[in-house]
């Protein structure tokens, strides 16, 4: 118990005190306590800063796209894997699907560039057969769908793990009983599978809502210069460029704090809604 | 015509203004307790180190007061020695610097590194930061623990580092007692660094904190593939229309007339200077500061580049290429030109050997007004020392003094070419020719030249014709250089917000040229820049300027 408690005190709650720089003009050379207090200045500047709102908007757009297009993919994939009866094939497909999760973003981004870039595989092929080339990499309009596609490619397989675990707990007798009662595959899915794994889906959805303002840092940072910050700046990269690169630590802390507070409120609200609907949610 | 005369007036004013700072006449009128103030206005100004040229070889192409460099078409036959004894005390010295090349082999396997350590009499632990990581790396080092700072840090002025002046003032050794006025005489090679370099480095709170790296006045330069551009119709006296026509003829298939590296805004410096736009800041007769961003000529240069980009003359990766990658494309003919520092000539000619022949471009004219050229900050960067005891500081300064030995000395030869028979051999004319090992072990990979260096001269081993061509080019370009009037001046707003303000403008300009944003977006960005701190900077610079002139 004590080591766990110490960990939380030092690395979680202790570090929270650092958020005080959000109301300071933090100068690293003058230290945490000697930097001047500026009150709500950083927040005021932030709310007036068009670049900040651009980053919030980009984050939300990407998040919503991920929620709509990415979130269902692991579920569908898990159902597909679950329906495979030959376990050798199933294990092989599972391994192949997990693998991309272990590639770093640098490699994934490079891979997409090699395939879809101006001089990549796709465009070389289109050029060779005399068709128009497509402008995907470096095109700000295509950026958001592109990053969602990258996430799907990389993490869809990995995302199936929890669903598969939930699916394995569904009582086989229920399927048999439903089949005997004349339920086809679709009805069995709708009336047996889905109700059984619904708590897990809701749990994951709530946790995803808490992270609605986090859409991946490395992935955006690596591709930001190619399309410009108007399309690719998200809150995390905004914090990085203002704070670490720009040295405006107090301002960056204010933006980070904003993100944390919004995330906490969303988790809390979503959990409440889940309870209202009679679900277990994340916590009681 | 009017643009030309205005530019000429501005640049001469800038030069005159900076040349007559009278040290010692102003006394501090504010309380001395405000240790946090980096401004020079209202402070007692430490006199610049007394300039005394270090004896070196005599040039055969004459320098000018305006800034044409001394040229050497041959290597001095008799090398002198400018440092009498080993400067170091056998201790370990931790060093950090930017590099524009690839990292070196480790010290144990690097004979150049070992030779430098032996000559300096210290063990050198080198943290080498690639240019593309420099801003991030410096930001974290600066914000980190003061005890873990390296002993010698190169502060490269090509970037706006966040709170740079505050960092230097709080964390670096005040070198005024060691270098100001006659004190610099203890370090004869540092005394050989001309006043214009110290002046463009500038004081912080009236004090001297660094040793500048002197550079010629010719700044960012458009380097051309001479054959490619001549074939495409380039001729002296070209206009902006001619430039666009040449770019068009020089672009076909996967060959692009124009190349640019990330963060160079598609090589905007060259184009804005050709449009005679102020370079960052200009000061007028009554001491008012004007930002280049707000100048119509700057905007015109951005619009011109946007058209070139739209017409497809730029390499598609112009916003993401690193300088070394761009150079590779330049050598293999994929891009016909690139913006790079003038100093790049030192490796361009050798690296391009047998592939193509590089040449610096003359600026094109715009609307009948002859084009200008970027005036470099005469201090490319400066070296600061971690706070230490007097003896240690003196030892570190002796190391810098060694590295600043002038052209024509044995010390210069070692720091620039390494060991004879190991890193270089002598050519027929006696000049050092890099050997196989010298290509991987040199002062680009181990950038000791960014810690301290003598005033630069025009010299390329075994290439007298290139030296003559560069010298002739400088004579044409030096008179039209446009100086940033803020060089050497402090602005509190710049040190606090300059990095993010600049980054935001850079992003917008890149977006406009790339066709992702319009010129009205540019106007909006300029308004944000002004209200976010630009106008305040103009006031602060004007105040400093008035105090220093």
Q: Which pLDDT score is estimated for B19?
A: 33
Mean pLDDT over residues A187-199, rounded? Answer: 88
Tens of pLDDT along B187-205? Answer: 999 999 999 999 999 999 9
| Residue A176 to residue A171: CA distance in whole angstroms | 9
A81 close to A160: Cβ distance less than 8 angstroms: yes
Chain A hits for B497, Cβ within 8 Å: 248
Q: Between B196 and B498, whose confidence is greater? A: B196
pLDDT, position B289: 97
Which residue among A25, A28, A229 sits closest to B143, beta carbon to beta carbon?
A: A28
User: What's the length of chain B?
Assistant: 549
What CATH number is attached to the domain comprising A261? 1.10.3720.10
CA atoms within 13 A on the CB side of B250: 30
| CATH code 3.40.190.10 region(s) in chain B | 2-215+379-463, 221-374+491-548
Mean residue pLDDT of chain B comes to: 89
Residue of A nearest to B134 (CA): A245
Task: Read off the pLDDT band of B495 (50, 70, 90).
Answer: confident
Cβ-defined contact of A248 to B496 (cutoff 8 Å): yes
Identify which has the larger pLDDT, A41 or B281.
B281
pLDDT in tens, B310-330: 999 999 888 888 888 899 999
Task: Please provide the DSSP assignment of A107-157 as one string.
Answer: HHHHHHHHHHSTTSHHHHHHHHTTPPP---TT-HHHHHHHHHHHHHHHHHH
Is residue A89 within a helix (H) or strand (E), and if so which, with residue range?
A: helix A87-98
Partner-chain residue, chosen from A138, A229, A248, that has the shortest CB–CB distance to B507? A229
- A73 in a domain, yes or no? yes
Query: In whole numbers, what is the pLDDT of chain A averaged over residues?
Result: 88
Residue B528 to chain A, least CA–CA distance (Å): 9
Task: Please answer yes or no on whether B499 and A227 come within 8 Å at the CB atom.
Answer: no
Q: How far is A226 from chain B (nearest CA, A)?
A: 6
Q: What is the pLDDT of residues A90-137, one digit of tens each?
A: 889 889 999 999 999 999 999 998 999 877 888 888 888 888 878 888
CA closest to B254 among chain A residues? A119
Q: Which residues contact A217 (CB under 8 A, 6 or more apart)?
A: A234, A236, A237, A240
pLDDT of residue B15: 35
> Can you give the C-alpha Rg of chain A in angstroms?
23
Kindly report the pTM of this predicted structure.
Answer: 0.80
**What would the mean pLDDT of B225-240 be, rounded to a whole number?**
94
Judging contacts by C-beta atoms under 8 Å, the chain A residues touching residue B170 are 29-30
Across the interface, whether the CB atoms of A246 and B162 are under 8 A apart is answered yes
Give B-chain residues touching A224 at CB under 8 angstroms.
none
pLDDT at residue B9 is higher than 70:
no
At residue A248, does pLDDT exceed 90? no
pLDDT at B25 over 50: no
The verdict on a CB contact (< 8 Å) between A246 and B500 is: yes
Query: Bigger pLDDT: B307 or A82?
Result: B307
3-state secondary structure of B14: helix
pLDDT digits (tens, 9 = 90+) for A152-162: 999 999 989 88
Q: Look at residue B143 and give its three-state secondary structure.
A: helix
Are B258 and B335 in contact by the 8 Å Cβ rule? The answer is: yes
For the question of an ipTM over 0.90, the answer is: no
How distant, in Å, are the alpha carbons of A84, B214, B215, B375 from that of B378?
A: 71, 6, 5, 8
For chain B, the residues whose C-beta falls within 8 A of a C-beta of chain A are: 36, 135-136, 139-140, 142-144, 146, 161-163, 166-167, 170-171, 254, 262, 316, 319-320, 496-497, 499-500, 503-504, 507, 510-511, 514, 516-517, 528
Q: What percent of chain B has pLDDT over 90?
A: 74
**B300 Cα to chain A: minimum distance (Å):** 22
**CATH superfamily for domain B2-215+379-463:** Periplasmic binding protein-like II (3.40.190.10)
Superfamily of domain B221-374+491-548: Periplasmic binding protein-like II (3.40.190.10)
Q: What is the pLDDT of residues B508-547, one digit of tens each?
A: 999 999 998 999 999 999 999 999 999 999 999 999 999 8
Task: Look at residues B453, B458, B449 and name the one whose alpha carbon lies nearest to residue B192.
Answer: B453
pLDDT value at position A208?
Answer: 82
A246 vs B262, B503, B510: nearest CB: B503
Number of domain units in chain A? 1
What's chain A's length in residues?
284
Q: How confident is the model at residue B36 (pLDDT cuts 50, 70, 90)?
A: low
CB-nearest to A244 from B136, B170, B319 is B136
> Is the residue at A174 inside a domain?
yes
What does DSSP assign to residue B307?
H
Higher pLDDT, B315 or B57: B315
pLDDT at B381 over 70: yes
Whether A24 is in a domain gets the answer no
Domain around A70: 41-276
CB contact under 8 A, B319 and A225: yes
Model confidence band, residue B379 (pLDDT cutoffs 50, 70, 90): very high
Best of A26, A29, A232, A248 to disrupt the B interface by mutation (most B CBs within 10 Å)? A29
- Predicted local confidence at residue B157, as pLDDT: 82
Rounded to a whole number, what is the distance in Å from the CA of B170 to chain A's nearest CA? Answer: 7
pLDDT 10s digits, B59-94 = 999 999 899 999 999 999 889 999 989 999 999 999
Nearest one of B25, B543, B467, B519 to B299, comparing CA atoms: B519
pLDDT 10s digits, A69-79: 998 999 999 98
């Amino acid at each position: 118990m004590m080591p766990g408690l110490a960990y939380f005190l030092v690395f979680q709650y202790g570090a929270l005190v650092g958020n005080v720089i959000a109301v300071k003009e933090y100068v690293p050379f003058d230290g945490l306590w000697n930097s001047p207090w500026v009150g709500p200045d950083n927040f005021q500047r932030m709310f007036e800063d068009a670049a900040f709102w651009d980053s919030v908007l980009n984050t939300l757009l990407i998040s919503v796209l991920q929620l709509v297009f990415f979130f269902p993919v692991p579920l569908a994939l898990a159902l597909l894997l679950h329906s495979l009866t030959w376990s050798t094939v199933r294990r092989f497909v599972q391994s192949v699907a997990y693998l991309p999760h272990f590639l770093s973003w640098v490699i994934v981004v490079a891979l997409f560039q090699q395939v879809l870039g101006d001089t990549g595989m796709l465009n070389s092929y289109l050029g060779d057969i005399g068709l128009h080339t497509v402008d995907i990499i470096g095109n700000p309009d295509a950026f958001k769908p592109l990053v969602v596609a990258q996430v799907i490619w990389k993490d869809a397989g990995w995302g199936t793990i929890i669903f598969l675990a939930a699916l394995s707990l569904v009582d086989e007798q229920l399927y048999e009983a439903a089949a005997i009662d004349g339920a086809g595959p679709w009805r069995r899915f709708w009336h047996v599978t889905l109700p059984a794994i619904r708590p897990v889906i809701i749990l994951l959805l709530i946790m995803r809502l808490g992270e609605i303002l986090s859409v991946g840092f490395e992935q955006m940072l690596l591709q930001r210069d190619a399309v410009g910050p108007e399309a690719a700046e998200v809150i995390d990269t905004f914090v990085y460029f203002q704070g670490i690169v720009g040295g405006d630590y107090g301002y960056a802390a204010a933006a980070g704090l904003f993100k944390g507070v919004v995330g906490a409120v969303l988790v809390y609200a979503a959990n409440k809604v889940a309870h209202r609907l009679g679900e277990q949610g994340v916590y009681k | 015509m009017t643009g030309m005369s205005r530019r000429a007036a501005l640049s001469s004013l800038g030069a005159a203004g900076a040349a007559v700072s009278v040290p010692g006449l102003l006394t501090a009128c504010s309380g001395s307790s405000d240790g946090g103030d980096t401004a020079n206005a209202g402070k007692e100004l430490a006199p610049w180190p007394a300039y005394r040229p270090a004896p070196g070889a005599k040039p055969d192409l004459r320098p000018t007061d305006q800034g044409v460099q001394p040229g050497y078409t041959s290597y001095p036959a008799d090398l002198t020695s400018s440092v009498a004894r080993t400067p170091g005390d056998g201790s370990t010295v931790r060093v950090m610097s930017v590099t524009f090349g690839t990292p070196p082999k480790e010290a144990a396997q690097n004979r150049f590194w070992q030779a430098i350590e032996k000559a300096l009499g210290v063990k050198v632990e080198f943290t080498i930061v690639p240019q593309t990581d420099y801003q991030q790396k410096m930001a974290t080092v600066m914000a980190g623990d003061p005890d873990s700072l390296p002993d010698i840090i190169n502060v490269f002025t090509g970037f706006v580092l966040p709170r740079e002046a505050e960092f230097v003032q709080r964390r670096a050794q005040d070198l005024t007692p060691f270098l100001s006025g006659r004190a610099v005489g203890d370090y004869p090679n540092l005394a050989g660094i001309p006043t214009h370099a110290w002046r463009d480095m500038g004081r912080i709170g009236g004090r001297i904190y660094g040793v500048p790296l002197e550079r010629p006045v010719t700044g960012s330069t458009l380097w051309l593939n001479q054959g490619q551009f001549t074939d495409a119709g380039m001729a002296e006296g070209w206009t902006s229309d001619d430039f666009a026509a040449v770019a068009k003829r020089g672009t076909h298939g996967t060959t692009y007339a124009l190349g640019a590296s990330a963060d160079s805004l598609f090589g905007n410096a060259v184009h804005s200077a050709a449009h005679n736009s102020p370079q960052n800041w200009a000061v007028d007769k009554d001491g008012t500061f004007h930002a280049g961003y707000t100048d119509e000529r700057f905007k015109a240069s951005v619009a011109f580049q946007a058209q070139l980009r739209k017409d497809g003359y730029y390499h598609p990766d112009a916003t993401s290429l690193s300088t070394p990658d761009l150079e590779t494309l330049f050598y293999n003919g994929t891009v016909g030109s690139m913006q790079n520092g003038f100093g790049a000539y030192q490796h361009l000619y050798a690296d391009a050997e047998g592939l193509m022949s590089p040449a610096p471009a003359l600026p094109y004219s715009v609307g009948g007004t002859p084009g200008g050229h970027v005036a470099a900050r005469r201090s490319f960067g400066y070296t600061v020392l971690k706070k230490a005891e007097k003896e240690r500081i003196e030892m570190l300064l002796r190391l810098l003094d060694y590295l600043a030995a002038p052209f024509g000395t044995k010390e210069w030869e070692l720091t620039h070419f390494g060991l004879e028979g190991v890193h270089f051999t002598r050519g027929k004319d006696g000049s050092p020719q890099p050997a196989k090992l010298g290509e991987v072990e040199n002062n680009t990979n181990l950038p000791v030249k960014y810690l301290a260096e003598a005033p630069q001269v025009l010299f390329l081993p075994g290439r007298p014709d290139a030296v003559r061509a560069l010298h002739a080019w400088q004579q044409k370009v030096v008179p039209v250089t446009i100086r940033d009037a803020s060089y050497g001046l402090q602005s509190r707003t710049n040190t606090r917000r300059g990095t993010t303000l600049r980054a935001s403008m850079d992003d917008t300009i890149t977006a406009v040229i790339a066709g992702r944003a319009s010129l009205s977006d540019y106007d909006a960005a300029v308004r944000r820049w002004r209200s976010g701190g630009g106008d305040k900077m103009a006031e602060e610079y004007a105040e400093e300027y008035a105090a220093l002139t």
